[in-house]
Amino acid sequence: SRTVFWAFIVLNIVLFTLGVLLTQLIGHEEDETLESLCSQRAANSTCHQSLAHLIKHREELFGNTIRSVFTTFRCLTDDCSSVDGTPLVPYLYDTYGVHMVLAYITIVLVVTFGLFNLVMAVFIETTIENAKHDEARRRELRTNEHIRVARKLQEVIIMLCTGQSAEEAAIAKYRSRINNPFRWFRGLCRRLRGGSDTAALEESANGHSELSLKIMPDTFYKMLQLPEVIELLDDLDISYQSRRSLFDVLDANCDGVLEVTELVEGLLRLRGAAEKGDTIATLLAARSIQKSIKAMELLSLQQQSSIYSLRAAQQRMESQLHKLATGITGLPRGGVQR
């Protein structure tokens, strides 16, 4: 972005400026001038050793502007070492004093915590913005996919419910427009105003007035032979190899007739390839049903045993009542004689 570009420009300007200064200060400076620095700081015994090291390697480190820029870049990003691998900052401190070290620390802080952090912040912000745009684009693609599936599914349902091919449906729709021009004009005005896709789907469905809410097997199998229906099923990612069993799969209540709700729910569930989770879910559901059936069977046996016990008790009571009735009948009618 523009911020990153200008950050790199500022970094190059800083490197070039420091390279020019170091070239003039160290690379092109006379040896006598450099030795005078140590003579002014006679108390520092390591000044002459550090100065000798700088004079020995100053051509490789600060011989020209390009070498000075490269040395400065290494000091800002890497180890800031001399040609022989020893640290360069102690040599500069022994020769030029604390002012050189303070300048070095200040420049490192400004570049590291200023320019580099600015570049990283811009990169992170750009990444977050791109992630937001990608999420919005994926959401838009999902919405468009839902609209596409709704349109394809509507075409399949209309063809199956009307029992007409695409050409026959187009002719019927054209006749419907002629017979009812006001509806067509209203739909045209809605499209010109930029109506929603849902309104367009409703308008398309309103053009078919002879929709059957129930689909017979013969009509279903006949429509599956049409290339238009096969192409629509392919667009919906619905496998149609087993056409004879497709009707039985969609017929949820097994009444031999497909309703629109069964057709819509079944086709939506048939979209895509069969996954392992579907098989496992079916197996777990079958096991759960099996356990429920076994529990019902056990409960039924218990109830049957209870019924048998009640029936035996009823028979015993009937036998006792019969004996009691027989005894009462055998008594003399005049009462008991004394």
Look at residue 327 in the predicted model and tell me its pLDDT.
75
What integer best gives the mean pLDDT of the chain? Answer: 77
CA distance 178 to 161: 22
Q: pLDDT grade, residue 227 (50/70/90)?
A: confident
The verdict on residue 311 lying in a domain is no
The answer to whether residues 12 and 120 belong to one domain is: yes
The verdict on residue 186 lying in a domain is no
The verdict on residue 238 lying in a domain is yes
Burial class (CB in 10 A: 0-12, 13-18, 19+), 33: exposed
- Examine the fold and report which residue of 96, 127, 158 is the final residue of a domain before the chain moves on: 127
Total domains in the chain come to: 2
Q: pLDDT grade, residue 331 (50/70/90)?
A: low
Q: Which residues of 249-280 are buried (b: 16+ CB within 10 A; e: fewer)?
A: ebbeeeeeebbeebbeebbeebeeeeeeeeee
Residue 208 has pLDDT above 60, yes or no: no
Residue 129 has pLDDT above 70, yes or no: yes
Residue 250 has pLDDT above 50, yes or no: yes
The verdict on residue 23 lying in a domain is yes
Q: Which residue would you say has higher pLDDT here, 240 or 266? A: 266
> Domain range holding 21?
2-127
Residue 223 has pLDDT above 60, yes or no: yes
The answer to whether residues 6 and 123 belong to one domain is: yes
Instruction: Give backbone dihedrals phi and psi of 238, rounded to 5 degrees, phi first.
Output: -115, 125
User: Amino acid identity of 258?
Assistant: L
Q: Which residue would you say has higher pLDDT here, 5 or 16? A: 16
The answer to whether residues 117 and 11 belong to one domain is: yes
Residue 106 has pLDDT above 60, yes or no: yes
The verdict on residue 182 lying in a domain is no
The verdict on residue 188 lying in a domain is no
Mean pLDDT lowest for which of 191-205, 281-295, 308-322? Answer: 191-205
Look at residue 16 in the predicted model and tell me its pLDDT.
92
Smallest CA-to-CA distance from 266 within 227, 289, 236 is with: 236
The answer to whether residues 219 and 120 belong to one domain is: no
The answer to whether residues 7 and 120 belong to one domain is: yes
Q: What is the mean pLDDT of residues 99-106?
A: 88
Residue by residue, DSSP assigns 197-245 as HHHHHHHHHHT-----SEE-HHHHHHHTTSHHHHHHHHHTTB--S-HHH
Q: With both helix axes pointing from N to C terminus, report the angle between 47-62 and 89-96 in degrees, rounded to the nearest 10.
A: 120
Q: pLDDT grade, residue 234 (50/70/90)?
A: confident
The verdict on residue 260 lying in a domain is yes
pTM: 0.43
The verdict on residue 96 lying in a domain is yes
